[in-house]
Structure 1
């Protein structure tokens, strides 16, 4: 699971955080406690986010359609007022204890799109599925589409999808999607920390880890939207890869062999002029290893070949013979040397 969260909005849209607030005994409980303990700012944001979510949960069983419609009208009609109110709240230290109803909390702290996303989690029974290191899992979604979840990853979605609303999935980590096209051209959206990946029917791979999101399109069409700037979008065609860095807010697009990036679905790793540094990152992301290069120049060596995802030790053997290097395992640490 990745942090930090920069804003309150980031935190209240995290599926695992919402689950923890509703049930503090979940397996992720220690993560949130430890994250809050890192700084006073983290503690403040966590308490504020909990206050909003608990207020929403408290009122969620009450009739809300009229209030929701009114909220949407007010949010759409008063963006300027929202900005002014948010600035005022910042000036007085975000004193959310003054906010007593979920309508006020939503109107002050989140925009229209975020309200919809948050209500999605709270008004629908949510399915959350996670994988461990070195584990893949195939999942069928409510519409018949399939997701293959890579190691050390998680997805969340409602257990029943409204045919008139977008089909939405929240992803942390890496997954391959095979999306079914619907007769009414229903949108399918994958949400990551930074991007919304929007499609109708297609096959594509999404890798959203740390500060970078990578999308590789096998077939169909995809539109990418920045979550914080909906007016900026990138169109993709089959055979294209797009990298987005949250550090510099930049998109990089290029043509690729898509099989290299989705071969893991068939339990195969394909490398084409892949640096050992990139392979080391894959080993950290998918297998939980911490990799250290004693000689930093070794990280720049490039490798072309294949390996089985279920026999990663064979990859170590191949790399050692190919480059005449040593790879020593010490528990979860890998030490690479000449």
Structure 2
């Protein structure tokens, strides 16, 4: 199995997943359980996929052809409308390709009810956008707000937002948000694995990787809500940074120069007394390198300077000359030695 899966469609077309839903005692079960445990979004997708498969299992009748033809027309019309709407956005998005997948769905599932369920999901589906290592992407949200997605990161959000419900985005990795304030003071919420970032209109940076979430507020106001502690919240003012560790459930707040943490949006890396250990973590998160310090004390050296996000080799050269060290590349591995 080559997951991670990121969409409902991926799951409902996977023969091994279907087999596990129908026969929960199969050996593949632990794989799906582990995948769902990685995030609340994974858990939701898994439950939706299971519900569709189990609903179909109740219906063994062959679909009536007239009903099937009518349903097919509705799918085509909905898909066309969806394509026209998405063409207005510059972002490259992943959408459910119902037209191409219809024959595969029909072959796996015989039943009218499941296709109706799939149409309902289409009408309220999520847009999923991911970046590769060393790649940034600017995305316009349905309300006109903007997100700049950093490397090795992903966001998802509903295809269409109404004017009453909160505007919601799910983030894994790092992104800079420029949120438009609405006349009715509509909330804007960024969901990470450990906490929610709630705003009205503002500019801020969120980095949510592994067991740590960092929020840096450039302007406006932000309120943080911890998932597991409903009564615990943190208010932020412009110029503040908040770090949250999922390991000890603790918040750390301090005043910082916000440009240091959002310079990547303009394809620049800014370091101020940044340890080589922290730089190594950035290289792993954003560029896919695995960094090894031959001498662990080197990780404590601090660096102040700038670098181009699109020319990371120049940073290696600067670090080598600054600290009289060697940085050896072996595939995706970096070996740092003195």
Q: Deviation at 1:203? A: 0.1
Taking a change above 3 Å as real, the CA distance of residues 317 and 232 of structure 1, as seen in their structure-2 partners, is: same
Bigger drift between 2-11 and 129-138 goes to: 2-11
Bigger drift between 294-303 and 45-54 goes to: 45-54
Bigger drift between 58-67 and 251-260 goes to: 58-67
Q: Write the deviation string for residues 235-288 of structure 1: whole angstroms up to 9, x where unpaired.
A: 000000000000000000000000000000000000000000000000000000
Taking a change above 3 Å as real, the CA distance of residues 311 and 83 of structure 1, as seen in their structure-2 partners, is: closer
Give the conservation status (yes or no) of the 8 Å contact 1:243–1:252: yes
| TM-score, with structure 2 as normaliser | 0.69
Query: Mind listing any 5+ residue stretches in structure 2 that lack a counterpart?
Result: none
Q: Deviation at 1:125? A: 1.7
Give the conservation status (yes or no) of the 8 Å contact 2:60–2:110: no
Q: Deviation at 1:27? A: 22
Q: Deviation at 1:29? A: 14
- Tell me the equivalent position of 1:295: 295
Give the conservation status (yes or no) of the 8 Å contact 1:13–1:118: no
- Cα separation, 2, equivalents of 1:337 and 1:302: 15
SS of residue in 2 equivalent to 1:247: coil
Taking a change above 3 Å as real, the CA distance of residues 58 and 198 of structure 1, as seen in their structure-2 partners, is: farther
2:8 is equivalent to residue 14 of structure 1: no
Give the conservation status (yes or no) of the 8 Å contact 1:2–1:210: no
Q: Deviation at 1:159? A: 1.1
- Cα separation, 2, equivalents of 1:162 and 1:99: 26
Give the conservation status (yes or no) of the 8 Å contact 2:196–2:227: yes
- Cα separation, 1, equivalents of 2:296 and 2:71: 56
- Tell me the equivalent position of 2:123: 123
Q: Deviation at 1:231? A: 1.2
Q: Deviation at 1:209? A: 0.1
Q: Deviation at 1:115? A: 22
Taking a change above 3 Å as real, the CA distance of residues 115 and 306 of structure 1, as seen in their structure-2 partners, is: farther
- Cα separation, 1, equivalents of 2:81 and 2:147: 41
SS of residue in 2 equivalent to 1:238: coil
Q: Deviation at 1:230? A: 1.9
Give the conservation status (yes or no) of the 8 Å contact 1:242–1:254: yes
SS of residue in 2 equivalent to 1:5: coil
Q: Write the deviation string for residues 282-335 of structure 1: whole angstroms up to 9, x where unpaired.
A: 000000000000000000000000000000000000000000000000000000
Q: Deviation at 1:228? A: 2.1
- Cα separation, 2, equivalents of 1:261 and 1:78: 41
Give the conservation status (yes or no) of the 8 Å contact 1:214–1:243: yes
Give the conservation status (yes or no) of the 8 Å contact 2:155–2:172: yes
- Tell me the equivalent position of 1:204: 204
| TM-score, with structure 1 as normaliser | 0.69
Q: Write the deviation string for residues 59-109 of structure 1: whole angstroms up to 9, x where unpaired.
A: 999999999999999999999999999999999999999999999999999
Taking a change above 3 Å as real, the CA distance of residues 45 and 239 of structure 1, as seen in their structure-2 partners, is: closer
Taking a change above 3 Å as real, the CA distance of residues 111 and 53 of structure 1, as seen in their structure-2 partners, is: closer
Give the conservation status (yes or no) of the 8 Å contact 1:154–1:173: yes
Query: Mind listing any 5+ residue stretches in structure 1 that lack a counterpart?
Result: none
Give the conservation status (yes or no) of the 8 Å contact 2:91–2:139: no
Taking a change above 3 Å as real, the CA distance of residues 190 and 11 of structure 1, as seen in their structure-2 partners, is: farther
Give the conservation status (yes or no) of the 8 Å contact 1:130–1:155: yes
Taking a change above 3 Å as real, the CA distance of residues 136 and 98 of structure 1, as seen in their structure-2 partners, is: closer
Bigger drift between 84-93 and 279-288 goes to: 84-93
Give the conservation status (yes or no) of the 8 Å contact 1:13–1:117: no
SS of residue in 2 equivalent to 1:78: helix
Q: Deviation at 1:227? A: 1.5
- Cα separation, 2, equivalents of 1:211 and 1:73: 46
- Cα separation, 2, equivalents of 1:211 and 1:26: 31
Q: Deviation at 1:15? A: 20
Q: Deviation at 1:124? A: 1.5
Q: Deviation at 1:50? A: 4.0
Taking a change above 3 Å as real, the CA distance of residues 262 and 158 of structure 1, as seen in their structure-2 partners, is: same
The total of aligned residue pairs comes to: 338
SS of residue in 2 equivalent to 1:35: helix
Give the conservation status (yes or no) of the 8 Å contact 1:136–1:150: yes
Give the conservation status (yes or no) of the 8 Å contact 2:6–2:42: no
Larger radius of gyration: 2
Q: Write the deviation string for residues 103-131 of structure 1: whole angstroms up to 9, x where unpaired.
A: 99999999999999999988622100000
